[in-house]
Amino acid sequence: MSANQNIKPLTTRINENGNLEISGCDLTELAGTFSTPLYVLDEVTLRTICNDYKEAFKRYPETRLLFASKSLCTLATSRIFSQEGFGFDVVSDGEMFTVNHAGVNMKTVLFNGNNKSIDELTLALELGIGRISVDNFLELSLLNELALKEGKTADILLRITPGIECHTHEYIQTGHLDSKFGFDLTQIDSAIELIKDEYKSLNIKGLHAHIGSQIFETKVYKDEVDILFEQMIRINKKFALNIDELNLGGGLGVKYTDADHPPSTFEIADIIINALEENIKKYGTKPPVIYLEPGRSIVCTAGVTLYTIGSSKQVPHGTKYVSVDGGMADNPRPSMYQAKYTARIANKPDAAPLETVTIAGRYCESGDILIKDISLPHPEEGDILCVYDTGAYNYSMSSNYNRVPKPAMVLVNNGSADIIIERETLQDLIRNDRIPKRLGET
């Protein structure tokens, strides 16, 4: 069993006061000290999952692990992942800027995305990004022009659409999957010809693909390896090249509820490595370097969000709504795509569930529902609700909807809690606002 198969952070327990604690920090005390909503991140769980990945892939030494920054990008977490030997998959100038300021070796960073701007590509070249995953013909041309102007050669991967689409328990495989990302398989040769014959400031190192998110199916990883390997061999033979890097992307699922049964990092590693070894033997070639881009499976389980329970409403002969002081602005996933979560009342975690309620957010939208039909002990005003598995994509996708400041985030470890993201203030909300002079003085 690996850490991504847990719902709770690994250090979660009930303490002598009868409250939930994580890494020695009482969650009700954290709520009192730092206010709510509050993102809480367990450093032990983060580092354990990183070590799971390293252990799982150690029998294939050519593995390079890149943390998918889009799932959670802060200075502190970037420092932790860098300390654990991870590189980074970034998708914007903001993520590049953040990991650079965290002291990350930028040679370990890959820049990915389907519509990179000229400013972003320029910054990537200036920072010495290790790899740029090129997504389309326009980007090939732009990057070559910019690299030529800078007197540099850009090391690139060619992102392709391998014809595999993953869902939680099923997938379809076609020759021409409809996707906004990457070169279709029928476009690869045209791209290679341009790189080889015209774009002399680009150095193609390998291929890149991504097959989905929150993946529970395992065979798709073998299919992906087979397709990328076949294309690599074909390209090398046809164009007399020696590309030897395959980026398999990320997407391993996590356990949000008891109904979820994601594979472990070790299961995935065995499937990928076995497929690589089969292809190496089949084609009689040296082992290629592989990149993996885990994001959700590293940070999700490590994070929880704390809310304070406020008002409640019992619909006659219907739903009981229990409202909290956060919602769709700090966690848009339930509203966007009906994501499901597990939660407990942190100040009475041992109490028997007495009623089924729906947790409603504070925002002015009927769809602002965090959790539907959850069984809890009788929830009372002032109780602290702990929602598990919020480390990935909650802060990353948060907003100031209804002009509400974003929550703080604390990193906990061995009884210590350190702010790694300050709570926004009302002044922060208007920091970039401007009133034209013609509208008069305030």
| Tokens linked to 222 | 């073998």
Q: Return the H-helix or E-strand segment holding 99.
A: helix 93-101
Can you tell me which residue has the tokens 């980026």? 247
Q: Quote the strand ranges of 315-391, DSSP E.
A: 320-324, 343-345, 355-360, 369-376, 384-388
Counting every residue written for the chain, the total comes to 442
Respond yes or no: is residue 50 known to be catalytic.
Answer: no
Q: Can you say whether residue 426 is alpha, beta or left, with left for phi > 0 and alpha for psi between -120 and 50 degrees?
A: alpha
Identify the sign of the CA torsion 421, 424, 429, 432: negative
Q: Determine the distance from the C-alpha atom of residue 221 to the mean position of all C-alpha atoms in its chain, rounded to a whole number.
A: 18
Instruction: Label each residue of 133-179 as H, E or C.
Output: EECCHHHHHHHHHHHHHHCCCEEEEEEEECCEEECCCCEEECCCCCC
Pick the catalytic residue: 25, 50, 364, 386? 364
Of 325, 332, 359, nearest to 344 by C-alpha is 359
Of 135, 133, 174, 127, nearest to 156 by C-alpha is 133
- Distance between CA atoms of residues 21 and 19, nearest Å: 6
Of 193, 114, 180, 127, nearest to 154 by C-alpha is 127
Show which residues are catalytic.
364
